[in-house]
Amino acid sequence: MRDREKARQKAKELVAQMTLEERASQLRYDAPAIPRLGVPTYNWWNEALHGVARAGVATSFPQAIAMAAAFDEELLKTVGDAVAMEGRAKYNEYSRHDDRDIYKGLTFWSPNVNIFRDPRWGRGHETYGEDPYLTSRLGVAYVEGLQGSQDDEYMKTAACAKHFAVHSGPEGVRHEFDAKASKKDMYETYLPAFEACVKEAGVEAVMGAYNRTNGEPCCGSPTLIRDILRGEWDFQGHYVSDCWAIRDFHMHHMVTKTPEESAALALKSGCDVNCGITYLHLLKAYEQGMVTEEEITQAAERLFTTRFLLGCFDENEYDKIPYEVVECKEHLELAQKMARESMVLLKNDGTLPLCKEKLNTIGVIGPNADSRKPLVGNYHGTSSRYITMLEGIQDAVGDSVRVYYSEGCHIYKDRVENLGWKQDRISEALTVAEHSDVVVLCLGLDENLEGEEGDTGNSYASGDKKDLELPESQRELLEAVAGCGKPVVLCMLSGSSIDMQFAAEHVNAILQVWYPGARGGKAAADILFGSCSPSGKLPVTFYKDLKGFPAFEDYSMKGRTYRYLDREPLYPFGYGLTYGKVSVKEAAVVGEIKEGEAFEVSAVLENNGDYDTDEVLQAYIKDLESKYAVPNHSLCAFKRVALKKGETVQVTMQVPYEALMIVDEEGKKYVDSTRFALYVGISQPDARSISLTGQEPVKVDITL
- CB-neighbour burial class of residue 399 (10 A; exposed 0-12, middle 13-18, buried 19+): exposed
Cis peptide before 550 (omega within 30 of 0): no
d(CA 318, CA 445): 39
Which residues, other chains included, contact 101 with Cβ-Cβ below 8 Å and sequence gap of 6+?
Answer: 43, 94
**Could you give the CA distance from residue 6 to residue 516 in angstroms, rounded to a whole number?**
42
Spell out the residues 6+ positions from residue 422 whose beta carbon is closer than 8 angstroms to its own: 414, 415
* 131 catalytic per annotation: no
> Judging by DSSP bridges, how do beta strands 582-590 and 361-365 pair with one another?
unpaired
Strand partners, 362: 403, 438
Q: DSSP letters of 621-637?
A: EEESS-TTS-SS-EEEE
**What sign does the dihedral 428-430-436-439 (CA atoms) show?**
positive
Residue 242 annotated as catalytic: yes
Q: What is the β-pairing status of strands 438-444 and 488-493?
A: parallel
Distance from C-alpha of 521 to C-alpha of 509, rounded to nearest angstrom:
17
CA neighbours closer than 13 Å in the CB half-sphere of residue 532:
20
CB atoms within 10 A of CB 455: 16
Cα(502)–Cα(491) distance, integer angstroms: 14
Phi, psi of 16 (to 5 degrees): -60, -25
Can you say how many angstroms the Cα of residue 298 is from the centroid of all Cα atoms in its chain? 32
**What 3-state class would DSSP assign to 459?**
helix
Distances (CA, A) of 260 to 243, 266, 293: 17, 10, 15
For residue 17, how many other CB atoms are within 10 A of its CB? 11
CA distances from 119 to 59, 181, 494, 656 (A): 28, 18, 12, 29
Number of residues in the chain:
704
What is the torsional sign of CA 454, 457, 462, 465? negative
Instruction: State how far the Cα of 239 lies from the Cα of 226, in Å rounded to an integer.
Output: 11
**Residue 147: phi, psi to the nearest 5?**
-90, -20
Burial status of residue 466 (CB atoms within 10 A of its CB: 0-12, 13-18, 19 or more): exposed
Query: Which candidate, 515, 598, 403, places its Cα nearest to that of 60?
Result: 515
Catalytic residue of the set 47, 195, 450, 453? 450
Neighbouring CB atoms inside 10 A of 558's CB total 10
Render 413-457 in DSSP notation, one character per residue: SS-SSTTSPTTTTHHHHHHHHHT-SEEEEEEE--TTTSS-TTTSS
Q: Cβ distance 458 to 449 under 8 Å? A: yes
Residue 367 · residue 443 · CB < 8 Å: yes
User: What number of helices (H) and strands (E) belong to the chain?
Assistant: 20, 23
Separation CA 169–CA 124 (nearest Å): 9
Q: Considering 73, 242, 407, 614, which one is annotated as catalytic? A: 242
Catalytic residues: 242, 450
